[in-house]
Amino acid sequence: YEGPFGARLLTCPDDCIQSLVALIDEADNTLDISVQYFDLGWHWGYGDNPLIEAIERAANRSVSVRLLINGYYMNDDIQETVNHFNHRLNMTDGLSVEARIMAPSDDITKLHDKNMIVDGEWSLFSSINWGSNSALRNREMGLAIEHVGLAEHQTLIFEEDWNRLDTSTDTDGDGLSDEEEANLGTYPDFPDSDGDGFTDGEEVDAGSNPMDSASTPQDGGDGGGDGGDCLSGGPPDNDATAQGDD
């Protein structure tokens, strides 16, 4: 890539978090983030997570945020982060925020990236994991480059990973893979698409309709049930929610 460019060096534990927060705070339109992991709770030094706070500030000024996260080592911490983005920030707060677990391909097993694309202009390349241990206890380096052509290239890669589906990745943990949800037309980011108190997986297993709140496992899928008490509410009817296929 040729032409004028801007650059910022990020160094941990010296100034990397302040620099990451500054990049997020400068976003006007979009933030596309792909990371190996993203800890909600920070165990060293900061207390509250400054990156989560910066992302929430961005979303509250109408920046669209997408988080793609590695699912190879799927655990409760990763699910908690995904749920925070999809359930709290999107469904509850109505913000344009979405998180997905990256599905593998024949050539790609894990997401080991620590990348961010800001407004289609800045691209971050770094070794910095988004957790307090990496930020405060490790020597990590990152380089943010301002160049539209490079950002376009990075966005193409992000979109390829974002849109890939398979039969095992389950972003919302409802027992249906993201690919199954795309085929069914249910919401891959929300475990209870119709808000009737039963997860989509429970409804499919029982033969009820996961997109019809009147059809529940309690009534055999025929309608008229009272719903369960495992979940409440469905996705909001707004542009922040992605349904089925993209």
Q: Over the stretch 104-123, which tens digit does the pLDDT of each residue have?
A: 999 999 999 999 999 999 99
pLDDT of residue 89: 95
94 Rama sector, left if φ>0, alpha if ψ -120 to 50, beta otherwise: left
d(CA 81, CA 8): 28
CB 203 within 8 A of CB 216: yes
**Mean per-residue pLDDT for 146-165?**
96
Q: Is 18 helix (H, G, I), strand (E, B) or coil?
A: helix
Using the predicted structure, report yes or no on whether residue 11 has a pLDDT greater than 60: yes
pTM of the model: 0.85
**pLDDT band with cut points at 50, 70 and 90 for residue 246:** very low
**Mean per-residue pLDDT for 181-206?**
91
Q: Over the stretch 47-97, which tens digit does the pLDDT of each residue have?
A: 678 999 999 999 999 999 999 999 898 888 899 999 999 999 998 999 999
DSSP summary character for residue 104: P
